[in-house]
A and B are shown apart, each in its own frame.
Chain A
Amino acid sequence: MKRALAFGFAMLLAGCAPADDRPTIVVQRFFGECGAAYGKSTDVPAAETECGILTTLINRFEAENPHIRVKVNVVAWPGYPQLAAQIAAGDPPDLVTMHQSVIADYSGRGLIEPVGPLLAEAGIDPATFTPAARAGVEKQGKLYAMPWDTIGRLWHINTALMDEAGLMRGGKPMLPTSPEELLAHARQFKARTGKPYLIQAQVSAPDFHVALLYTYLLAQDAVIFPDARHIRLDTPEARAIVGTFRQMNAEGLTTLNQDFPAATAAFTQGKGGIFPVGTWMLGPYDAEAARPGSPLHGHYAVAPFPRLWGHDAAFVDGHAWVVPAAKRSPQERAAMARFMGLLARYNYDWSRTGQLPAFAPVVESPAFAALPHRADIAALARTGRQLPGYVERQSAVQGLIGEELEAAITGAKPVDAALRDAERRVNRLYAQMM
């Protein structure tokens, strides 16, 4: 018995690992989970998709820096409720992915810290940020994040179906130039192919319709946010935009009842003509178009949102890496700087997803220019517009507007009432903001 006890005790002791005294950094990110495909990958140029590239980058960092321990929290997009709870509980992560439109909410309250010293330690020169990227991360004259990209929305187009619908000219898709033409094209498309003209994520995807609305309001120079505490949505311009897309739904000219994964898959399966979604799908869809046997094979094109109202414009945002305010040791800060350095070093690889790079030398590089379709979306860099810098709580606002737009466009609520309710709910949010 004693021997058995001694053996058991020895096994217990043998199971105890020595204390890990390496500096630890906690990286919190969205972009999904793909450990099954990229869990061991360190070959960054070989990785594909946002999730695959970022997972590989983190693996690469761990391989290059065995003296640093990295803990990764993968959060469901966009992850801000979790981050707010972590900060409120006094247990924030060290590096967090954040949309540039959201940074002001946290910087204004001192919840994230300026990253100038970390950038300097990482050898990153902020002068190399693109103007759009710098504007996205600079608040009150300080840099509150390392920008990583500029993101916009594109029309991803199945040219085989467009051809079948008689909507190709000179090898390029014919895009509508007015809401009336949009409906005419969509009706013609459906009549000739039997499929919907648009593929749309209209379920659990509040950002989808909001990007449409912001884009076409900005195109008309409509003042969406007259000041920092008010929104203006109950307008003829907004009613016309929402009414047009409601009509598309009512006539079955778009897919219905799809969430983002379903809509993403529907496009690759050739179930519709055009998927208006972000730059981030350019890389994956281009890879799909190169795959023999795919319905998209050799039949994929992209274009910025067509000019349906006003002038060319696109609502753009960007991803960035922020540092929540917390006490950290010099070793931890050095580890964070090294991590940022690696992310910056591989910014070209990140741009293979379809996002526009945050660093001017990458934008100007021949390698970036040689990526497919980049000439087609170059206009985005010129016409892309963010909301005014004084607009706070953009993520929460997007959720409120998105819910009302979803109700209006799917026909569950009259357009006027939905826009009025969206305006009331957002203004109430601002009235309560401390």
Chain B
Amino acid sequence: MALDQSFVGRTYPPTEPYEVGREKIREFAEAVGDPHPAYTDAEAAKALGHPDVIAPPTFVFAITFKAAGQVITDPRLGLDYSRVVHGDQKFAYVRPVRAGDRLTVTSTIESVKSMAGNDILDIRGEVHDEAGEHVVTAWTKLVARAAEEA
């Protein structure tokens, strides 16, 4: 079933703040096997000009994708989440995410398309810190594959 085109441009309310924890960053860096000291050693991060340990570039996806959940599960949009695969992902950074950040995400539906029975949804997540400064934007393309013929 084609998605409702009137959802293009719709913006959802900002999420509650997510507080970025030092140990959460360490856990993520270990999970991707990345020993870069800027992720775990505040002094190493400071030597690079950062006020505290920073998160690996893709860390923020866990936060923006959770925020996108309010779009994906919006019953008025009608996306069949059981058929969804991740198509594209992009980030544009103003600065790296770092320990102590309290981040909110504002999700906007950028585009809704149907191609060959697949529903394609582009969601933009704008991430801001507690001071209201823009930190990063995440673009997520989700593809709901066409239901197979019975």
Q: Do A and B come from one complex?
A: no
Residues on A close to B: CB < 8 A? Answer: none
Residues of B within 8 A of A (CB): none
